[in-house]
Amino acid sequence: MTMEDLYQEIILDHYRKPKNRQPQLEGESVHVHHSNPLCGDEMDLRVRIGDGVLDAVVFDGDGCSISQASASAMTQAITGRTLDDVLELAEDFRTMMHGEEPKRADDLGDGVAFRGVAKFPVRVKCALLGWMAVRDAIETYQEGASAHSVTHDD
């Protein structure tokens, strides 16, 4: 296992120049805070939802390159999609991280670059952090709430 297996250039690009990394979002519908206590990854994720569509998503936080880069790639892949579509894509990413072929590789965009992370079991949670957060944000919205906080245990 080399560093390049884990850290593909696309991943490093997102880490160095993250997309949609912002502390605030105008017109925010839901704000969720997710953490992986084992690694110390912390993430704030904010979404704006209108007419069943994920209109905008931003994240902020402190974590390893994998967690931050994965969230960055995710924001590009999901912005503008319907909530159901985002949930389906999140599930596709999750199963990909457990070694399955992605069904919607094109829609995952740069997210496909994280396939190699599946070979590093302790880092899978890092790659999933943003996706778990957005799924929670949508479910929180559907339950009529506007904020939620989740700690991912082992």
Partner 1 sequence: MTAFDVATLRKEFPTLDRDVDGHRLVYLDSAATSQTPIAVLDAMDRYYRTFRSNVNRGVYQLAEEATDAFEGARANVASFVDADVRGVVFTKNATEACNLIAYAWVRRHLGPGDVMLSTMMEHHANHVPFTTAAKEQGFELRHVPLTSDGQLDLAAAEALVADGRVTFAAFAHVSNVLGTINPVTALRALVRAANPDAKVLVDGTQAVPHMPVSFRTLDVDFYAFTGHKMLGPTGIGVLLAAPEVLETMEPFLTGGDMIRDVTLDGATWNDIPHRFEAGTPMVAEVIGLGAAVDWLRAHDMAAIREHEVALIDAFLSALSDLDGVEIYGPRDVSVRGGALSFAVDGVHPHDVGSMLGSRGVCVRVGHHCAKPLMRCLGVSATARASLHVYNDVDDIEPLVDGIQAAQRFFAR
**Contact window for partner 1 (CB under 8 A) among 37-45, 46-54, 84-92, 142-150:** 37-45
Q: Does 96 bind partner 1 (CB under 8 A)?
A: no
**Residues comprising the chain, all counted:** 154
Is-contact 29 146, C-beta < 8 A?
A: yes
Is-contact 47 56, C-beta < 8 A?
A: yes
Show the site string, 48-87: x = touches partner 1 by CB under 8 A, - = not.
Answer: --------------xxxxx---------------------
* 64 burial level (CB within 10 Å; 0-12, 13-18, 19+): middle
**Contact window for partner 1 (CB under 8 A) among 38-46, 84-92, 105-113, 128-136:** 38-46
CA angle, residues 18, 151, 105, in degrees to nearest 5: 45
Give me the residues that bind partner 1 (CB under 8 A), please: 1-3, 6-7, 12, 15-16, 37-42, 62-66, 120, 123, 126
